[in-house]
Amino acid sequence: MQKRWVNTNHANQNTVNALAEQLNIDTTLAQILVQRNIHTFNEAKEFFRPQLSQLHDPFLMKDMRKAVSRIDLAIQNNENILVYGDYDVDGTTAVTLLYSFLLQFTSAVAYYIPDRHSEGYGISTTGIDFAKDNDFSLIIALDCGIRSVDKVAYANSMGIDFIICDHHLPGDEIPDAIAVLDPKINDCAYPFKELSGCGIGFKLAQAYCIDHNLDAELYLRYLDLCAVSIAADIVPIVDENRILAHFGLIKLNNHPILGLKHLMQSSGRTKNYTIGDVVFLIAPRINAAGRMGHAKDAVKMLLSSHPDLADEYSSYINQQNDTRKSFDQTITQEALAIIGNNDVLVQRKTTVVFQDSWNKGVIGIVASRLIETYYRPTIVLTESNGKYTGSARSVWGYDLYEALLLCSDLLEQFGGH
């Protein structure tokens, strides 16, 4: 293979020299900083010494005021609140964060995670019916919902209000919810667009505390969950994410919530976690719950308040991760064989493979593995509940979301970051 080297643009030499002098560092280091958009003494200080005081004002986020007011109303009227989240790490940490946070103010709160296999991604009709049958009048959706226009309308028709906390790309139409928190909405002025889903939940908790003059500790106690979500969702660790990840890792390594502590024990490493360790040791284990069984087991683990329970759940999730590993190896081998045995498929500029028996929970991982062999946009499909469902991964420079948009008339549902 021939290597192609692409040089980064050189930083402005005057800026580099000035920064080197101000910080009393070598110009090589100053250049690396300038190439990362760090131009001044203060910007460098923020970079090297993250401070919680640098977190953005949560009320800069569009609809934040409306979200806090609706939660106030629900708590005053003792309404039942349902915290609804996605089944992956970001979703389950977000649900754990907001559910635990709200429990500090009301007991009329429960959580709901859709079943990856029977309900699929996003807000489900089953979930809304569950809310209706159990007298919930407010659903707070985390890490999903931004494209759930129909589902929110369905909930509205039954007198159930929605607050959406999402970080996925919005579609043409925004759901008719009481509040829609998503920095990626066009007219949202929030200065940082790359928060995780759990990060949006964190901002809502922060806003609530600021609005009620409550101790910051009431939301800062969930920083370890934020760090885990940031690592697992691979959001860029810059700006506010860098602050959350920095303090989140400190918490994770010193006094993590009980569920995470036991999960770390069962993964064989208890100390000195970096973001990379979270990606490779914690995230796959939490995800395994939703892939192999039901993600509510991951939430139960994260919420555990007794060591025995935390131990039981984390061991169970560890076993599920072992099962997941063997599934993903087998399916990857099968997929590679399908491509490798067919000259036409080998030559294509994309990978699209299908097998109806493949486990829906691991096809995303398989797509990533196929890219290691065939570096090109990849879609892995399987059958679930009589429908074809797939997981897609792209390579640098190719916008797969745009490509799916172009054939959206053929798709029942799709989404992405």
**Nearest-angstrom CA–CA distance, 183 and 200:** 9
Instruction: For residue 110, give the 3-state DSSP assignment.
Output: strand
Q: How many CA atoms lie within 13 A of 354 on its CB side?
A: 9
Q: Cα(3)–Cα(344) distance, rounded to whole angstroms?
A: 26
- The greatest distance separating any two alpha carbons of the chain, rounded to the nearest whole angstrom, comes to 67
CB of 417 to Mn ion, least distance (A): 7
- Pick between residue 233 and residue 328 the one whose CB is nearest to Mn ion: 233
DSSP 328-377: HHHHHHHHHHHHHT-HHHHHSSSEEEE-TTS-TTTHHHHHHHHHHHS-S-
For Mn ion, the closer of residues 94 and 174 by Cβ is 94
State how far the alpha carbon of 193 is from the alpha carbons of 46, 175, 197, 241, 391, in Å: 18, 19, 11, 10, 24
Site of interaction with Mn ion (CB under 5 A): 90, 143, 197, 233
- What's at 314, amino acid-wise? S
The pair of three-digit structure tokens given for residue 153, joined into one six-digit string:
């309308």
CB of 89 to Mn ion, least distance (A): 8
The answer to whether the beta carbons of residues 301 and 317 sit under 8 Å apart is yes
Q: How far is the CB of 367 from Mn ion (least distance, A)?
A: 17
How many other CB atoms are found less than 10 A from the CB of residue 372?
9
Q: How far is the CB of 311 from Mn ion (least distance, A)?
A: 28
Q: How far is the CB of 164 from Mn ion (least distance, A)?
A: 13
Half-sphere exposure of 102 (CA within 13 A, CB side): 30
Q: Which is nearer to Mn ion, 175 or 197 (CB)?
A: 197
Comparison of 44 and 231: residue with beta carbon closer to Mn ion: 231
Q: Is the dihedral of CA 101, 102, 108, 112 positive or negative?
A: negative
Closer to Mn ion by CB, 143 or 182: give it. 143
In the bound state with Mn ion, the residue whose beta carbon lies nearer, of 233 and 297, is 233
Q: Give the nearest distance from C-beta 388 to Mn ion in angstroms.
A: 23
Using CB atoms, what's the residue nearest to Mn ion? 90
Q: Identify which of residues 90 and 277 has a Cβ nearer to Mn ion in the complex.
A: 90
Query: How far apart are CB 226 and Mn ion at their closest, in Å?
Result: 12
- Minimum Å distance from CB 145 to Mn ion? 11
- What phi, psi does 82 have (nearest 5°)? -110, 120
Q: Residue 11 or residue 195: which is nearer to Mn ion going by CB?
A: 195
